[in-house]
């Protein structure tokens, strides 16, 4: 079976970087482009980080396109407390020797999806500003994209940014609203499943048996991320939201799903950015999201660790 052609829209971001590494270590997918967006850090910084991580993984042939540096409506909300000022925790990668492409991320998404009808899988692991802008500029991408996987939301799980809202959705709830109501075939990976997938200090010790720039990067970046999770949420380890979302593009059996009528709150109250579902479908609407609500954490973690080990053995 030929590999899935994927595009990643992203705000690297420690767990975003781990998702890149998992994609590069997985023959089931072919990463054809990265579009960067504001989020964990600014768009110029997420762009630098994407270029640096690709260079670390000897994958600089993959083009990077910079996108929006502000949400559609709200003020910018970065998360240095979670990912560090650089966005990659304590990792200190050299300045990238490559540059981003000149084309805007939203235009690259439009051009690539329209010129490859029903071929491209879009993985969205940051605030959805670029994808919403692309949809508004060219609504036909909704009918031409093969499938969309979104890391976002917290349906029956507490938020990680407000009591109810998950970060990607809270940062740009208006963009999320556009995506959720676009008619695109979307699979949502919310905190309900990602918070069961914790990368632990023991998992890191296993990877550190291999001496490689890859394992050094994972150690340096996740050490900061683990400190955040310990301090803010008393979690021993760190939640690797984005790699789980990537894994579902080629191993959907890791999770169990429900087709739901779902929405995101864009009102200005305490619920802003909250993703919720009409579970009993009182309004008899057609479900608009396939939501991952069950997960087999060890199956995912084993996949992630095995793939990181094989990538680390290739890159010394
Ligand atoms: O809420 C978690 C999400 O927000 C992850 O994608 C993380 O990288 C941040 O973007
Ligand atoms: Ca992210």
- Answer for the pair 292, 256: CB distance below 8 angstroms, yes or no: yes
Distance 153 CA to ligand 1 centre (A): 10
- Average pLDDT over every residue of 278-282: 95
CA-241 nearest atom, ligand 1:
5
Which of 126, 162, 170, 240 maximizes ligand 1 atoms within 8 Å of its Cβ, making it the mutation to test the pocket? 126
Ligand 1, residue 161: give the atom nearest the CA: 1
Pocket test of ligand 1: the residue of 169, 241, 264 to mutate, having most ligand atoms within 8 Å of its CB, is 241
Q: Are 191 and 153 in contact (CB under 8 A)?
A: yes
List, for residues 26-70, the tens digit of each pLDDT value.
999 999 999 999 999 999 999 999 999 999 999 999 999 999 999
Ligand 1-lining residues (CB < 6 angstroms): 11, 13, 15-16, 39-40, 125-126, 151, 160, 166-168, 241-242
Q: How far is the CA of 239 from the centre of ligand 1 (A)?
A: 9
Residues 34 and 20 sit within 8 Å (Cβ to Cβ): yes
So what's the pLDDT on residue 281? Answer: 95
User: Which pLDDT does position 29 carry in this prediction?
Assistant: 98
In the structure, what pLDDT confidence band is assigned to residue 112 with cuts at 50, 70 and 90? very high
What pLDDT, on a 0 to 100 scale, did the predictor assign at position 118?
A: 98
Q: How far is the CA of 138 from the centre of ligand 2 (A)?
A: 24
* Cα 12 to middle of ligand 2, angstroms: 6
- Nearest-10 Cα torsion for 51, 25, 290, 142: 50
Which domains are assigned to the chain?
Answer: 4-314 (3.90.245.10)
- In this structure, which residues have their CB less than 5 angstroms from ion ligand 2? 11, 13, 16, 125-126, 242
Atom of ligand 1 nearest to the CA of 160: 1
- pLDDT for residue 1 is more than 90: no
9 dihedral zone (left: phi>0; alpha: psi -120 to 50; beta): beta
Model pLDDT, residue 316: 83
DSSP, collapsed to helix, strand or coil, labels residue 291 as strand
Cα gap 10→205, rounded to integer Å: 27
Q: How far apart are CA 25 and CA 162, in angstroms?
A: 34
For range 290-309, the mean pLDDT: 98
Kindly give the number of the ligand 1 atom that is closest to the alpha carbon of 15.
8
Q: For residue 273, what is the DSSP state?
A: T
Q: 158-213 pLDDT, tens per residue?
A: 999 999 999 999 999 999 999 999 999 999 999 999 999 999 999 999 999 999 99
* Region 277-282 average pLDDT: 96
Q: Which of 10, 15, 36 to mutate to test the pocket of ligand 1 (most atoms within 8 A of CB)?
A: 15
Instruction: Convert the pLDDT of each residue in 121-150 to its tens digit.
Output: 999 999 999 999 999 999 999 999 999 999
Predicted TM-score (pTM) of the model is: 0.98
* Sign of the dihedral defined by the CA atoms of residues 215, 221, 225, 230, in that order: positive
The confidence score (pLDDT) of residue 256 equals: 98
Whether the per-residue pLDDT at 257 is higher than 90: the answer is: yes
Q: Given the CA of residue 14, which atom of ligand 1 is nearest to it?
A: 8
Q: What is the mean pLDDT of the chain?
A: 98
């Amino acid at each position: 079976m030929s590999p899935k052609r994927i595009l990643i829209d992203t705000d690297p971001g420690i767990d975003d970087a781990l998702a890149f590494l998992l994609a590069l270590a997985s023959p089931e997918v072919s990463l054809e482009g990265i579009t960067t967006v504001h989020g964990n850090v600014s768009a110029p910084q997420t762009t630098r980080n994407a270029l640096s991580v690709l260079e670390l993984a000897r994958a600089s042939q993959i083009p990077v396109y910079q996108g929006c540096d502000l949400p559609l409506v709200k003020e910018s909300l970065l998360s240095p407390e979670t990912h560090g000022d650089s966005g990659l925790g304590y990792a200190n990668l050299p300045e990238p020797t490559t540059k981003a492409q000149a084309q805007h991320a939203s235009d690259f998404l439009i051009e690539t999806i329209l010129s490859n009808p029903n071929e491209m899988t879009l993985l969205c692991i940051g605030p959805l500003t670029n994808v919403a802008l692309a949809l508004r500029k060219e609504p036909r991408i909704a009918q031409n994209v093969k499938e969309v996987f979104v890391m976002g939301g917290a349906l029956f799980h507490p938020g990680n940014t407000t009591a109810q809202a998950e970060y990607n959705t809270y940062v740009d709830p208006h963009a999320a609203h556009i995506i959720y109501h676009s008619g695109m075939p979307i699979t949502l990976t919310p905190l309900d499943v990602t918070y069961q997938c914790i990368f632990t200090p023991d998992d890191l010790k296993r990877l550190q048996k291999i001496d490689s720039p890859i394992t050094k990067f994972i150690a340096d970046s996740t050490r900061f991320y683990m400190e955040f999770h310990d301090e803010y949420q008393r979690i021993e380890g760190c939640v690797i939201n984005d790699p789980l979302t990537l894994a579902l593009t080629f191993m959907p059996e890791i999770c169990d799903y429900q087709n739901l009528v779902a929405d995101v709150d864009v009102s200005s109250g305490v619920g802003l950015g909250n993703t919720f579902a009409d579970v009993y479908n009182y309004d008899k609407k057609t479900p608009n999201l396939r939501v991952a609500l069950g997960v087999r954490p060890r199956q995912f973690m084993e996949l992630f660790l095995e793939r990181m080990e094989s990538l680390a053995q290739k890159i010394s």
